[in-house]
Amino acid sequence: MRMRSLAIVLLAALAGDAAAKGWPTPAAGDSTSGGPELVLTFDDGPNPKTTPQVLDILKAHHLHVIFFLVGEMAGSENKKVPGILDRMVKEGHIIGTHTMTHQDLCRLKDEDRAAREIDNGKTTVEKAARLRTEWFRTPYGVRCERVERLLSERHLQHFHWDLDPQEWKHGNVERTVKYVTGQLAKNSDRVVLLMHDVKEVTVKALPQILDWIDAENAKRLKVHKKPIRIVNGYDLAGEHLTPGLVPWLADLAPDLSGIAGSVSADLP
């Protein structure tokens, strides 16, 4: 009897491990440049106070990233939010969805509610931003049979990450910068970085990280070493484009005269 009970416990543990298994990495595929590459992504916004500061930093560095927006934040009655969303689109950033109220989709007892989290979040973000979204990220990066089934039914794929400094959790700027730059210094492939535009720590850490990349690339150039290439969100979208999505990409990229056509010509 004890052996049978032990077997049940072990099977349950294995099942739990399988349910909690993470998403495949590298999250955005292998490097296309032959050297280290970085994809910048930001979750949980928009925040009227901090998101504009993040946009200022990105604009100063001529970068175009991916924002995974929460429905209740994008649909907020705050008068500043529509302008922030318009700015994201006009400045060439990609917008993805991140559920309606940032719930753990695997832990919700009601599966219908989990489905509504995905659907309502997508609908609300698309209405607020006035564009179509194609990319989705689960809160906390959770993965389970339910999530996989719900995403499959909606023809959505989860967009995961490779580097998570957890700045939202500890709030330490120095720790955030040290983690990210340390990982980038030894990286030789493509990595997706997760940060949060709703946090002050992100606003303070991001320019330090980008300045470090500039300085690091200057050093690499002198010794003929591959620089760290930051992959723009719309470039990444172009790599994964499927038939019918050229209009979606054209709406999001800042200058796609010719890009949309060339991408379309490469489609099957």
CB–CB of 202/50 below 8 Å? yes
pLDDT at 157: 87
Q: Which two tokens stand for residue 221?
A: 């150039």
Mean pLDDT of the region 34-38:
96
Mean pLDDT of the region 68-86:
97
Q: Is 67 inside a domain boundary?
A: yes
Count the domains in the chain: 1
Mean pLDDT of the region 51-68:
98
Convert the pLDDT of each residue in 110-152 to its tens digit.
999 999 999 999 999 999 999 999 999 999 999 999 999 999 9
Q: Best-predicted range by mean pLDDT among 13-17, 223-227, 257-261?
A: 223-227
Phi, psi torsion values for 104, nearest 5 degrees: -75, 105
Q: Which residues contact 257 (CB under 8 A, 6 or more apart)?
A: none
Q: Is 4 inside a domain boundary?
A: no
Q: Which of 173-177, 232-236, 264-268 has the lowest mean pLDDT?
A: 264-268
Q: Which residues contact 81 (CB under 8 A, 6 or more apart)?
A: 46, 48, 73, 74, 128
Q: Is 19 inside a domain boundary?
A: no
CB–CB of 170/196 below 8 Å? no
CATH number at residue 67: 3.20.20.370
CB–CB of 71/125 below 8 Å? yes
Tell me how far apart the alpha carbons of residues 44 and 35 are, in angstroms, rounded to a whole number.
30
pTM of the complete model: 0.85
CB–CB of 150/115 below 8 Å? yes
pLDDT at 14: 37
Q: Is 39 inside a domain boundary?
A: yes
CB–CB of 253/228 below 8 Å? no
pLDDT at 264: 29
Q: Is 83 inside a domain boundary?
A: yes
Domain holding 97, by residue range, is 24-263
Mean pLDDT of the region 192-213:
98
Q: Which two tokens stand for residue 67?
A: 């924002």
Which residues are identified as catalytic?
43, 196
